[in-house]
Structure 1
Amino acid sequence: MARSTGRVRTAVTAAVTGTLLLSACSAVGGSKEKLHDQLPDAIRKAGVIKVGGSFTAAPVIFRNPDGKADGLDPDLAAALEKVLGVRLDFQDVGPFANVLPGLMDKKYDIAMSGITDTREREQGVDKDGKQVNDGVDFVDYFMAGIGTVVRKGNPAKVSQIDDLCGHGVAVKKGTTHDDLATRQVKACEHVGKTMKLIEADTDNAALDAVRAGQADAYITDYPKALYNAQTVDGGRTFDIAGQQLQPRPFGIALRKSDRQLRDVLTRAVNTLVTDGTYDQILSKRQLTVGAIQNSVVNGSS
């Protein structure tokens, strides 16, 4: 088991991360040479791992002024390149809803796009429990909860999920927040308060809906919510409403048939945790609150 780094976390995050630790004892790091040799033959020969992502989720993944992939996920990928001895090349797949379907269609080898590891995605079922694909495996590397972006001053007085009833709510299509909001629509109907759901393709489109008054809140991952509240218009337009809710792991997604690559990536991430590179990456992005102590496979199960 990788050593503890003594990070400070919230009680909720620590509790969830503790579950990850229990299942992580077999996930150990290794030298660059050993990890490279453990990669699937096709990847070693190609010298590259193709990565699919939606460049719409700052600070996790976005396009910088030079047009290149930037953020936590590209930083982590760059560090993985060094320990694996192969390139990780990002492909922008457009809206987030395209990320996992593209992986299942074998358009790339892995997906890194701030993807929340959920049991539904692992099992390949939709929000209604219907089987839609074979499911994916996740190599977990970060913890993030739900954040709610509102207009400055929070005029709608939103602080928790139930407060969304009677208001317009923006989400990104295909996300866990989309699923959450869809369920909340039904909950609001039961109390006689209609919730208007606005599904957007990008963070910017969702934020525009809040800015224009079409929505009173935008539900997204907490790091993205915090980043947008602090940076958009110099921090003058948006606020964060309430506390981070329901922390869950982010994971690198792979097809279930790619177990060899999955296990090597798990060892590689743990190598970065052990040698301190992981902490440096999170500190650079001011995301240390989401640090995990060990990478595990399918930590949401």
Structure 2
Amino acid sequence: MEIMNRLLHLLILTFGLAWSIKVGPVRLASMEEYITYSGGPSEKKSVIECPVALDGAETLKEVSWVFSDGGHPIGRYFWNKKSQGKAEGRLKDVVRLDRQDGAIELTELRYNLSGFYSCSATTDEGDSDEAAPWEVLIIDFNDKSPTAGLYAKGECGFESSFKISAFYPQPTLHSGLYSESLGGFFEEVASIDWYKQGFENGSYSYSHQNVLFKIKEDTPHDVYFLSSVGVSKKDGTYIPLFSVKSYIQIFEEQGCHPVKLDAYQKAEYSNGGARNCRKEIRQPASGQLKAVVSCMDGYEPAGDSDYESMELTCNTKIWEWGVLQ
């Protein structure tokens, strides 16, 4: 019985220790995904939190931070409830030291303060827990809107140009024909067509010029031209920042596919058979698109059929041929 009581007591202690303190995950106090460089430091925008949850009996004693480049520590910050905080390495002179919660408040924003922040916390009772490193990005880009343009090139082609000014960190860009039905890009500007320029402070500018695209038979009808700019974290997480959508008339042009014919049949179209870029029968400038289906010259309807020809109309709501009632 005594052994059972000891085991039960140990189980209670173990359970209590497991839930006495929980730390993390690391996050920005603003609940945003990154810090904006141009906004400058502030209590709302440049505070990195180490969330700590305690049970009712515990009290927080200290919080310790490690700032790394993904490999080696390059800065540290120590907070104790009885003394002022202390910052070392790259965090020295850029962290507010008189906060009462153990969070890192950056009082200066620099590109080289982007990186991985991890924290651990200890209670007065000696219990501790730690949070895994979390990548904090400080993003800076020119307030001027990117320049984007589409220019017709021949009957079914167009050229795209796009440019963004200096941007930190190196951005992730996509530019091309985007289809909602496909859930992604149908065709993109190739990496070889992007011109990248790096600067001494680690920022980059990107552009492409006069990249040719064509609307073809397999181009989805819901495409538009999309240029999107974002950043990618080391773990592959993509943070979208802004995008530019562009349209030109040939994206939307739609018609009915050529009438499916049996052997020895022919179709004559009211528009003379002109086709659009997707090889569909193009809508006439005025009136309805019609097709008259009949036997080819030298052939007659089989059997007792009185059929000589049939007139079909292109239904522009569903883009299919039908007999007009």
TM-score category, normalised to shorter length: under 0.3
Q: Which has the larger radius of gyration?
A: 2
Higher share of residues assigned helix: 1
TM-score (structure 2 length as normaliser): 0.20
